[in-house]
Structure 1
Amino acid sequence: MAAFHHHPPTAFDVDADTHTAAAGSATTPTSLRRVRDPNIDPQLYTPSKRMRMMTSALASTSSGSFLVGPAQVTSVSRIPAPVLEGPPSLAPPNWDHLAVPDDAVEGLTWKELIEYAKGMKNDLRNSQQQIRARDGIIESAHATIVVQNLHVEKQSQALHAKETKKKTKREKLPMAGRGHHLTAQEFIDAAERAERQREEEEAAKAKRAGEREVAKEAKEKLQKEWEKIKEDHEKAVDAWKEECDQLLADGVLKRNLPKKPARARKPTAPKRPTTQDDSDGSDDENDDENADD
């Protein structure tokens, strides 16, 4: 499943003729069909090879082709029901042979050993049948889980496409579900109301956009003023420091030095009511604190 998620099936993979078993007769050199050698152990296949074979097998069925195709899943497509299988009615092995001690086996005669070996062989055959039946049940359950997982993936894709679908600008007139003539006055009035509502929404949207643009320009202007205030304050502080150094050199006491120039408050724009479509964030907070030394 990890290989399937990272490498979605292509049109070549979903082709039913892509992966087929070798036929009895030899294929012609001009055949484009890929032949799978039946002598190769399927356990040696790579995950991507198994994924392609599974995709081709699903694409060849009428009930599973939509799972690997581009079509979206609908409510008509039902998720496969789980396959619940119990253990088959097979002859169980004789577990009493395990209770026979080794000393007792060593004391058996030649004929008794032959009978004992035949019984062990029969028990091994029964055990083999039990294991094969169990492996078949597990394989069937795993196949069902894989198909169910593919179905869930298709459902997720359909839900994502529905959730991200863009809203259309077309209006659905409230006609109570009944048919109407296009020239009927009731239909004309409903169409005019829908048109007026659409125009009002467009006008309100344009107005909000204009207000946001004005607010943006005002914010940029205030920011420039704030930068100018900080620049002037830095110059005033530098001049104050030079003056203090000169006064200290002339013997003036520190307590008699002039005070450090204070920085003006940050200018703020008047608050305006925010709307749902406003994309601008809140205005910057005021910087009320003056700069220290």
Structure 2
Amino acid sequence: MKACWQRAIVEFESKVMRDVSKAEFLTVWAPAYLEAFDESTTRAAFKVTGIIPFNPNFVTAEQMKPSEATSTRGEFPMPQPSPVRAITNSMRLHPPTRFDLSPSNIALSSNLASSSPPQTPSRRRSWDEMENIDPVLWSPSKKMRTLYAHLGSTSTGSLLLSSPKIKSYDTSIIAPVIQHVPRSIKAPDWTLLASDGAEEGYKSRNQLENEIAALQKQLALARQNVVVRDNIIEEANATMIFQNVGLKKMKEALHQQEEKAATDRARLFKGRAQVLSSDEFTNQVKDMNTAKKLKDAGKEAKRVARERKKELREELEKEWAQMKERHVAAVEIWSQECSELLAAKTKKKDLPPKPKLGKKPQIPVEEDDEDDLEDEVIDDGDV
């Protein structure tokens, strides 16, 4: 069909000297279709199905075997969250090796994962780029970064990887998903294990073949159950990983709420009972007052320094304006002098140089008081 269609296009373009338009598409395509799909091509298409000519042995019994029901996705009471699916897909694409399962490597990977910065959307790799990398180059750290990339591509997982403090209205608590083996997968007949071949005595060949066939059938059912249960355990572990990440973010938010900046207006320590008449509490109040006086004195000194710097800046601006005025006057005098010298046929290389403005006067470099000013504003807001 492709060859006939290409040949029809070439003939049409060579005849009318332009491309095929939408109105002319059917006129060009229909003859190519009739030329390609004749009786021989139709019979060849049906031949591979074993229908024309009829061939019952064309499709083997192995190909006719029904597919194994190993997927439990349709049996879940609710769909899995996208972060859980991301973790599960990452584990399936890159299964852990014996080195990854060692206790020492698990501890090392957890430390690397906690210290690695989250991947921003602009730095994440595409799925095709990650899947086309040589498997030999996949180190544990790269697998962890891949896991972060999968999580960052989801709406809920990206919130857990972000640096801002998590809020209660940003995410909802995911209801637990109780998984089980689907009813479509039958349990193996474990009674075959209880039979003792030695006590049954002699068995004929047909009996042994039937027994082997029954054992193979039950073994296939057992394998299906093992695969499904492994998938359930894998997704349960992924759910626990996701919940652990969420709990860490919640703990960080709770810690930030509990460890607010201490104020110097009160002295009620850590929510514990205090004896207000004790020497310890009195000394702490005295130390607090002394520290407050020192802090106020420091603020006053910084305020005076800022005012002095402001006055110095204004003086420098006035001086800079005067320098520019003097420079403009000097340039006018220089221009007039150069005109007179050129009129006297003086060479340009012998003319006097143009007056320079000079550098703008700067404030002497001192300690930066911007941070101190921010601290003062914050302290004033605590009043």
Structure 1 length normalisation: TM-score?
A: 0.46
* Structure with the larger helix share: 2
Structure 2 length normalisation: TM-score?
A: 0.37
